[in-house]
Amino acid sequence: MIDNKNFILKTTLFYSFIFLIFLGFVGYFNLNLEIESYKNEQKNKLIDYSQKIQRAIYDFTSSKSDRFIMPKSFQYNVELKNNFQEVIYQTKNNSIKQDDTTVDVELELAQNRLGIKYLKISKIVSYDRLYLKFLMLTIYISLFVFISIFLIIKSSIYPYKKANEFLDAFFNDAMHELKTPLGIIQLNLEILQENQPNTKEISRSINGVKNLLLVYQDIEYLIKYKHVKFTKEHVDFSIFLKQRLSQFESLTQPKKLAFQVDIEKHIEIKINRTQLQRIIDNTLSNSLKYSYPHTYIVVKLYKKDENIIYSIQNYGDIIKDTKTIFNRYYKENSIKGGFGIGLNIVKNICELHNIQVDVNSTKKDGNIFQFTFLKNT
């Protein structure tokens, strides 16, 4: 079952990121246009101020006054020069740094009484206001996009969420209803087998029920593992493995298989019993399913360097991709049946408990699945 919150959040972040990248390009060009527009606006103000100075100079030239009044402004820096480019008058801001951004206008004046030939006006401009505006706009748009996409995705998956909840409830009810009759069938078949030993039909029926129970236990685990806390407990691995092997003994008969067992005594481990059973049952089930007839299956359990090693070896077709087989619903051989969920369950349990899994498949040595339960696991 999909973790809805994580799925919605990840999907929202992904689409928001894609949208904002596109928006970023548009915003970048728009910011450049605003900067150019702001530059032109400031330049027009410089031109207006330069016209005031020109009028004052020309008015002084046509008048008989001996006193020239310069139109002053603290916003601009002014330089008045003669024909030889010598500065006659200036209002220079010494705090201007070399890397400051400035706009300027330089004009050539007509002959006048002051002997001014060139007029230069400059001003420091700052784009902080534009950058702040762009940043605030980006934040607002990002939040709006994120919230909008989040709500759209959430509302779009709502029907699927309800359907998923319905399916969960259905499977829970179905699994509950199946467990009791399967147990009754198995019990009655075993009683029949005691009364009528060596009956092929009864043996086949018992094996069929056992296979059904294995599938049932896998599906039950898949339904529960995200909602149930599987607490660790001390388990005698040696005894537990022997018990599980005894349950699979009858399943070896149809293909005339045999177990070769090498189990060290008194190997204890701290793990959840249900999860350990899923590892053992799925590996044994696969070994039986994919073994050639009249071969043997080697089951080993031993300690090595304070780590616990559980391995199972069978002889069958070579595994083409030892990594893909752990993917859910993947089946190496579709003719053999099954749902392709067993090894995926094993992989998830191993990742949860930091159990190292090694798979080797050769024509000479067959298929070997080795599980290393590390000391600190």
pLDDT in tens, 240-296: 999 999 989 988 988 999 999 999 999 999 999 999 999 999 999 999 989 999 999
Question: How high is the mean pLDDT of the chain?
Answer: 84
**Distance set, CA 176 to CA 170, 179, 337 (Å):** 10, 6, 24
CA–CA gap between residue 269 and residue 222 (Å, rounded):
23
| CATH of the domain spanning 230-377, picked from 3.30.565.10, 3.40.50.2020, 3.40.50.720, 3.30.390.50 | 3.30.565.10
Instruction: Choose the weakest-confidence range: 41-45, 97-101, 121-125, 307-311.
Output: 97-101
| Domain ranges within the chain, ordered by starting residue | 4-126, 230-377
Q: Amino acid identity, residue 193?
A: Q
Backbone φ and ψ for 91, nearest 5 degrees, come out as -115, 85
> How does residue 1 score in pLDDT terms, banded at 50, 70 and 90?
very low
Q: What integer is the mean pLDDT of 182-206?
A: 81
Encoded tokens for 191: 């009683």
Q: What are phi and psi of 143, to 5 degrees?
A: -65, -40
Higher pLDDT among residues 71 and 340, named by residue = 71
CA distance 207 to 254: 9
Q: What is the pLDDT of residue 326?
A: 82
What gap in Å lies between CA 169 and CA 223, rounded to an integer? 10
- pLDDT of 351 strictly over 80: yes
Weakest mean pLDDT among 24-28, 129-133, 161-165, 354-358: 161-165
Best CA proximity match to 265, nearest among 289, 244, 297, 241: 241
Quickly state the pLDDT bin for 335 (edges 50, 70, 90): very low
Asked if 290 and 367 count as a contact pair (C-beta separation under 8 A), the reply is yes
- Three-state DSSP at 377 gives coil
pLDDT tens figures, 103-139: 888 999 998 888 899 999 888 888 888 889 888 988 8
**Nearest by Cα to 100 from 131, 128, 125:** 125
Overall residue count recorded for the chain in this entry? 377
Residue 23: the pLDDT is 84
